[in-house]
Amino acid sequence: MPVFQLLHITDTHIFSDSSRQLKGICTHDSFHAVIQHAHDRHPSPDAIILGGDMAQDECAASYHKLAEMLSSWSAAWMISPGNHANIEALEHTLIPALEKLSNYSRCLQLGEWQVITLNSHEDGSIGGLLVDTELQRLEELLSAEPHKHTLIALHHHPIAIYSRWLDRIGLKNSQKLWQIIGRHNNVRSLLCGHIHQAFDRIHNGVRILGTPSTCIQFKPLQQDFSMDNKSPGYRTLSLMPDGRIETIVKRIDGFIPANLNNDDPY
Ligand SMILES: [Fe+2]
């Protein structure tokens, strides 16, 4: 039975102006370096999940640029929008641009697996929220395929990661998500961005995975905002037919802020 290969690329925070920096890092250049690294090693994954916070300035020009930079892949595309998202521009710019490259999906069937993306964007908020229609959609998808192993991708982290400042801006109604997951036994993993750090923990029998950003990294287990001296990265996932996931975080070299105490607004 086949194994399916996925890439998770998240928190690119690019600007329409390619020279702009976030905390001293040129987000275009770090994203470009990540794509090159990932494409050289994984030229034909089955799917690529964009984990949210793709454009810092949330504008159509940035989404065009993003799709252009990803155009060497022809995998199935999925997106879990984050707090930095303009949903209208995303729907009218990024998704059509990705559809020109290959298909875009919010629920992908891959053999013994289904992969579902959720939208946790809430206008005007850094934290995340799953609206009732999104929760209802998840419930229906899990009910429709009770025997399929399921991977759910969403931007905001669905459990406490014990960084006080990040846990204040996590998923506000995570309890409702966990109630739905608890009514089914087919969810194997939740995959998130937002936390700009590698994370891997089992919660209620479900594997919670977090992926580094393609730009700046946040230091784990901190009370207040704190950057880490780690390079940008991405995550590869192999979905095994028996429901296991083999996954690796890969990092490029360089792109560590010169001043880790930079207090420019994030
Ligand atoms: Fe982010």
For residue 158, the CA-to-ligand 1 centroid distance in Å is 15
CATH architecture of residue range(s) 4-251: 4-Layer Sandwich (3.60)
Q: Which residues of 115-125 are buried (b: 16+ CB within 10 A; e: fewer)?
A: bbbbbbbbeee
Query: How far is ligand 1, taken at its centre, from the CA of residue 11, in Å?
Result: 4
β-bridge mates for residue 233, sequence order: 251
- Write the burial class of residue 24 (CB in 10 Å: 0-12 exposed, 13-18 middle, 19+ buried): middle
**pLDDT for the residue numbered 165:** 96
Contact (Cβ atoms closer than 8 angstroms) between residue 249 and residue 9: no
Res 84: pLDDT: 93
Whole-number Å distance, alpha carbon 143 to ligand 1 midpoint, is 31
Ligand 1 center from residue 194 Cα (angstroms): 5
Residue 136 Cα to ligand 1 midpoint, Å, equals 26
Measure the CA–CA gap between 253 and 223, rounded to whole angstroms.
Answer: 27
**185 CA to middle of ligand 1, Å?**
30
Q: Is 51 helix (H, G, I), strand (E, B) or coil?
A: coil
Q: What is the pLDDT of residue 45?
A: 98
Q: What is the pLDDT of residue 245?
A: 98
Q: What is the pLDDT of residue 263?
A: 74
**103, 77 Cβ separation under 8 angstroms:** yes
As to burial, measured by CB atoms within 10 angstroms (0-12 exposed, 13-18 middle, 19+ buried), residue 220 is: middle
State the CB neighbour count (10 A cutoff) for residue 69.
16
Where exactly are the structural domains of the chain? 4-251
How far is ligand 1, taken at its centre, from the CA of residue 156, in Å?
9
Q: Could you tell me the distance, in angstroms and rounded to a whole number, from the CA of residue 263 to the centre of ligand 1? A: 16
d(CA 95, ligand 1 centre) in Å: 19
* pLDDT tens for the 266 residues of the chain, in order: 899 999 999 999 999 999 999 999 999 999 999 999 999 999 999 999 999 999 999 999 999 999 999 999 999 999 999 999 999 999 999 999 999 999 999 999 999 999 999 999 999 999 999 999 999 999 999 999 999 999 999 999 999 999 999 999 999 999 999 999 999 999 999 999 999 999 999 999 999 999 999 999 999 999 999 999 999 999 999 999 999 999 999 999 999 999 998 877 66
From the CA of 216, how far away is ligand 1's center (Å)? Answer: 9
Distance 195 CA to ligand 1 centre (A): 7
> For residue 265, what pLDDT is reported?
65
Residue 63 C-alpha to ligand 1 middle, in angstroms? 15
Residue 233 Cα, ligand 1 centroid: separation in angstroms? 13
